[in-house]
Amino acid sequence: MSGVWGADRVRAAEDEVFKRVPEGALMRRAAFGLANHAMTMLAELTGGVAGRRVTLLVGAGNNGGDALWAGHFLRRRGVAVEAVLLSPDRAHPAGLAALRRSGGRIAADHLAAVRSADLVLDGIVGLSARGPLRPAAAGLVEQVEAPILAVDLPSGVDPDTGVVAGPAVHADATVTFGCLKPVHVLAAGHCGEIHLVDIGIRAELGEPELVVLSDAEVGARWPVPGPTDDKYTQGVTGIAAGSAVYPGAAVLAVGAAIRATSGMVRYAGEAADPVRDRWPEVVATGSVTDTGRVQSWVVGPGLGTGKAGAEVLRRVLAAGVPVCADADAITLLAAEESRWDDRDPDTPMVLTPHDREFARFAGAVGADRVAAARRAAARTGAVVLLKGHATVVAAPDGRVLVNPARSAWLATAGSGDVLAGLIGALLASGLDPLLAAGCAVRAHEVAGQLAARDAPTSASVLVEVLPEAIRTLRLAAGFR
Ligand SMILES: NC(=O)C1=CN([C@@H]2O[C@H](COP(=O)(O)OP(=O)(O)OC[C@H]3O[C@@H](n4cnc5c(N)ncnc54)[C@H](OP(=O)(O)O)[C@@H]3O)[C@@H](O)[C@H]2O)[C@@H](O)CC1
Ligand SMILES: Nc1ncnc2c1ncn2[C@@H]1O[C@H](COP(=O)(O)OP(=O)(O)O)[C@@H](O)[C@H]1O
Ligand SMILES: [K+]
């Protein structure tokens, strides 16, 4: 598990630490770690470090201070260092003095300094960043051809929301201090490879604000049968999805549930024939009223938003088992407030909206996706899984999991149906709904990587590779 803390919490923790450690010591610790990573990067890029050129982009605050101190440490190891001061009057005084002492130069020609660099350190702005890069910094960043190492976070990206509202640094790597911040998981694509330098503030940070599940944690939790299990004891997943018009959603959701766990899947709906044709192991009926007992329901994908769909939703919500409500089920719930009343509030529910579906029942997502998901979860009493490049999963009690995407291959039709089937299977196994959603998102993403292998893929292939994805996760957890 990786914890993630927002800017206010990091500042509060740093203030606590400053009571026992001088401020400058913390910065030097951070900068020393930063310089080490810069050295490694330089060595990998150019085969050596002596005589290589590093240019520092230095803003008005402590982020620039980190860069200046790192420049000082790099100079001591024979690297040529030049600093571009974006606000010369406000550059960190102690950092600037240290750089000068060790023979670092202050660039007179900013463009030339940027153009001649083997590596650029982005110390423009860090945790106090507001909005996109300002024009002078943006103009300079545009001219960078060398790899960029971001100090703490890529400048121009909002530290707490990951929003990129204009020009921003696209880093090859980021060295951050003390802990991960939301930007690193919500805008991972702008950060490049992320390295964490321990500066001794962990104890003061408290409980994380967001959590990223590791592959090993997901693999360890994935339900597998034990010696005394049979097909029923592992939890039976019910899928109420698909229609005559949209049979594919049912085929995909059922397939994902079948491949996710080894128990049993029941299907109820108008797509019983195509579902049975594709998945002979499923027990398929035409209606939710004829389905045998299940331990969870997935309702919504391809269901339709008419009267028939509404009736299916009503029955599923009244069944008293955990529900994953996706797609048309969300639209139906949003269209009529009274439909929420069909649900026993003590029965776990996972809602899986994309942004447009989210807006229908909880208002526009806005810039702060974590806050939006948290708000919607608290209001509905359900786990809210807000889809996107980074997927945010919020529980009604305020806990939040984030899955930072490694690629965008999952942006393909039907991939949401696969996710819904996965969540349904994990709910049926009895997993806590937040974890069921979080583990499903991670397996979905791993399946996306395996399915694509660097070329476009489709939802059917995602279903095919699910066992391989689960195997990958279990291997990470040490199961062989
Ligand atoms: N405290 C410590 O010991 C430690 C701190 N650490 C380091 O300190 C960093 C936080 O430093 P910080 O709080 O001084 O602010 P920082 O992020 O450098 O911003 C400075 C100024 O930039 C400006 N600005 C704002 N937005 C902008 C934009 N979009 N584009 C351009 N400029 C923009 C704005 O100035 P303004 O012009 O608005 O007055 C703002 O005041 C943290 O990320 C970590 O690196 C580590 O060393 C660990 C120990
Ligand atoms: N750009 C992207 N990067 C990573 N994942 C994405 C991206 N776009 C969509 N996804 C993922 O793909 C899935 C799409 O779900 P959804 O919108 O319901 O599609 P569908 O209705 O076609 O099944 C979600 O899990 C979402 O997080
Ligand atoms: K930065």
- pLDDT by residue for the chain (480 residues), tens only, comes to 799 999 999 999 999 999 999 889 999 999 999 999 999 999 998 887 888 999 999 999 999 999 999 999 999 999 999 999 999 999 999 999 999 999 999 999 999 999 999 999 999 999 999 989 999 999 999 999 999 999 999 999 999 999 999 999 999 999 999 999 999 999 999 999 999 999 999 999 999 999 999 999 999 999 999 999 999 999 999 999 999 999 999 999 999 999 999 999 999 999 999 999 999 999 999 999 999 999 999 999 999 999 999 999 999 999 999 999 999 999 999 999 999 999 988 999 999 999 999 999 999 999 999 999 999 999 999 999 999 999 999 999 999 999 998 899 999 999 999 999 999 999 999 999 999 999 999 999 999 999 999 999 999 999 999 999 999 999 999 998
437: domain CATH number is: 3.40.1190.20
Q: Are 305 and 449 members of one domain?
A: yes
d(CA 51, CA 218): 46
Q: Are 261 and 410 members of one domain?
A: yes
Q: Is 86 in the pocket of ligand 1 (CB under 6 A)?
A: no
Q: Are 443 and 346 members of one domain?
A: yes
pTM for this entry: 0.96
The Cα-based distances of 94 to 8, 122, 177, 454 in angstroms read 25, 18, 19, 47
454: Cα separation from own chain's centroid: 20
Q: Are 41 and 136 members of one domain?
A: yes
Give distance in angstroms: CA of 438 to centre of ligand 2. Answer: 15
Q: Whose CA is nearest to atom 35 of ligand 1?
A: 60
Known binder of ligand: residue 62? yes
Give distance in angstroms: CA of 416 to centre of ligand 2. Answer: 6
Domains of the chain: total: 2
Q: Are 241 and 186 members of one domain?
A: no
Atom of ligand 1 nearest to the CA of 26: 49
Q: Are 276 and 196 members of one domain?
A: no
d(CA 468, CA 472): 6
Q: Are 95 and 162 members of one domain?
A: yes
Q: Is 451 in the pocket of ligand 1 (CB under 6 A)?
A: no
d(CA 397, CA 410): 29
Q: Is 8 in the pocket of ligand 1 (CB under 6 A)?
A: no
The binding-site residues of ligand 2, defined as CB within 6 angstroms of any ligand atom, are 327, 354, 387-389, 391, 405, 408, 410-411, 413-417, 419, 444
Q: Are 200 and 219 members of one domain?
A: no
Q: Are 260 and 288 members of one domain?
A: yes
Last residue of a domain, one of 164, 195, 210: 210
Atom of ligand 1 nearest to the CA of 199: 48
Q: Is 135 in the pocket of ligand 1 (CB under 6 A)?
A: no
d(CA 375, CA 310): 25
Give distance in angstroms: CA of 64 to centre of ligand 1. Answer: 7
Q: Is 33 in the pocket of ligand 1 (CB under 6 A)?
A: no
Q: Are 142 and 282 members of one domain?
A: no
What ipTM, to 2 d.p.?
0.95
Q: Are 14 and 66 members of one domain?
A: yes
127: domain CATH number is: 3.40.50.10260
Known binder of ligand: residue 388? yes
Give distance in angstroms: CA of 233 to centre of ligand 1. Answer: 55
Q: Are 126 and 266 members of one domain?
A: no
Q: Are 378 and 372 in contact (CB under 8 A)?
A: no
Atom of ligand 2 nearest to the CA of 405: 4
Q: What domain range includes position 427? A: 215-476
Long-range contacts of 99-102 (CB under 8 A, 24+ apart): 99/56, 99/68, 99/69, 99/71, 99/72, 99/75, 101/72, 102/71, 102/72, 102/75, 102/76
Ligand with smallest separation from the Cα of 129: 1
Last residue of a domain, one of 152, 180, 210: 210
Parallel/antiparallel/unpaired status of strands 210-212 and 2-4: antiparallel
Q: Is 127 in the pocket of ligand 1 (CB under 6 A)?
A: yes
DSSP-assigned beta bridge partners for residue 194: 174
Ligand with smallest separation from the Cα of 10: 1
d(CA 115, CA 112): 5
